[in-house]
């Protein structure tokens, strides 16, 4: 793809295709983070909840599509996914999931120092230091992937069976 303008629509460069070495490095980081989360004892559902929540905050349709499917495959319920954007207003998430989600939100938008401090304190009460580190790395990594997909305008297309 090129960045040439066609009518009123500007086609975007697919950053992953235009700079494959950089994208490969990001993928390698993601694999390292996946290992760190497993070693920290975080389950796949918690990791996918973080990926989805960060992608919601960033408005990344492509990553929302990918990680919602992954969460469902891992055994997450449609009900919890449906209310994830309002997780604070439900009783559906465990103490550790709530701490992970708050920490991921604070990592995604670190401008509010009070929110960051509160999220970190909650995480200290519910998660190990290895889990805190892993959650922050998950949030950092999905934030990077969100930006690649948003700036590339990666499409979300209908599946053949939809």
**pLDDT cut 70: percent of the chain above it:** 94
How far, in Å, CA of 20 to CA of 8, rounded?
28
For domain 29-152, the CATH superfamily is AhpD-like (1.20.1290.10)
Provide the 3-class DSSP secondary structure of residue 6: strand
Dihedral pair phi/psi, residue 14, rounded to 5° = -80, 105
CB atoms < 10 A from the CB of 32, how many?
12
* Global pTM value: 0.91
How far, in Å, CA of 101 to CA of 49, rounded?
7
Domain positions in the chain: 29-152
Contact 40, 133 (CB under 8 A): yes
Give the torsion sign (CA, 60, 9, 23, 140): negative
Q: Along the chain (162 residues), what's the average pLDDT of each consecutive run of 10 residues? A: 52 94 98 98 98 98 98 98 98 98 96 94 97 98 98 91 78
């Amino acid at each position: 793809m090129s960045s040439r303008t066609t009518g009123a629509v500007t086609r975007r460069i697919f950053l992953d295709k235009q700079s494959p070495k950089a994208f490969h490095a990001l993928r390698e980081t993601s694999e390292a983070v996946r290992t760190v989360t497993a070693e920290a004892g975080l389950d796949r559902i918690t990791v996918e909840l973080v990926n989805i929540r960060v992608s919601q905050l960033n408005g990344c349709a492509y990553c929302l599509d990918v990680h919602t499917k992954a969460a469902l495959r891992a055994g997450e319920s449609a009900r919890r996914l449906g209310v994830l954007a309002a997780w604070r207003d439900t009783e559906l998430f465990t103490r550790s999931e709530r701490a992970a989600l708050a920490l991921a939100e604070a990592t995604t938008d670190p401008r509010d120092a009070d929110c960051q401090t509160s999220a970190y304190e909650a995480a200290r009460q519910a998660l190990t230091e290895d889990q805190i580190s892993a959650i922050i790395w998950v949030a950092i990594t999905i934030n990077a992937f969100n930006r690649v997909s948003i700036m590339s305008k990666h499409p979300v297309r209908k599946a053949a069976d939809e």
